[in-house]
Amino acid sequence: MRKLHFLIFAMMLLVMIGTGCSNDEGKNKTQKDGEQVELTVSAAVSLQEALTDIKAAFEKDHPNVKVNYNFGASGALQQQISQGAPVDLFFSAAEDKFEKLVDEDLIDEKNGIDLVGNKLVLVVPKDSDKGLKSIGDLTKADKIAVGTPESVPAGQYAKQTLENSNLWKEIEDKVVYGKDVRQVLTYVETGNVDAGLVYKTDALSSSKVKLVATAKDDLHDPIIYPVGLINDQKHAKEAKQFYDYLQTPTAMKTFEKYGFEDLN
């Protein structure tokens, strides 16, 4: 009889323990579903203002997700990712930098999209008296800032524009290189150079420069900004949420506010 009572007691104890474990698992699952997730987005520095606004709106709608940006020249960012930097999304200012990651199987082509476009423009300091009113006038300048063509897409587009305008050889000795397009803009803002070639979006962000000319589209490769998901990221669900959010009408209005063109 005592053995029977003991067996019944043991079975009841096992049921209680099992129920408790089940509740704990459910509790842990709920906590996991609502845990704070941090995403890392490597993006071209020319996207800084637009993406800062988009981050605020996205995080308001997704309170469990924090978006951390790594802004820089697209070429440098691409190299970081190629070397194993932990990144969830890449937002490039040039297709060739993006395609390198596709070729290296770090981005699946189906998880990428050409999202926005831009223009290349000539800017001069606000108080400039050099009489620079067109790209052809750059022969009058003493110093001209462009991004380093090998790593800065804006610099690559600038060199193409100058070569196709038959100006590059004439002004090459006057060129001052910037590590990214924002450094080029700073050189112009501070008067360290007479002019610079930057994106239209950068020119619109500064009250210290004048936009004096826009490069013709046929003088350089199309300025396209692709964005895509890095393969094998830790937070695939949340990364996809942000990737999708970048394509919403709300996000596109923000991009257009800062001078980008909707490509879709």
Q: Which residues are annotated as a binding site for molybdate?
A: 46, 74, 154, 181, 199
Q: Which residues fall in the annotated binding site?
A: 46, 74, 154, 181, 199
Q: For the chain, how big is the Rg over CA atoms in Å?
A: 26
Contact at 8 Å (CB) between 139 and 218? no
The whole-angstrom separation of Cα 68 and Cα 38 is: 7
Burial class of residue 117 in the structure, from the number of CB atoms within 10 Å of its CB (0-12 exposed, 13-18 middle, 19+ buried): middle
- Tokens of residue 161, six digits: 């524009």
Neighbours of 187 (CB within 10 A): 23
Residue 69 φ then ψ, to 5°: -100, 145
List the beta strands (DSSP E) in the chain. 37-44, 65-72, 89-91, 107-117, 120-125, 144-147, 175-178, 195-199, 209-214, 224-230, 261-262
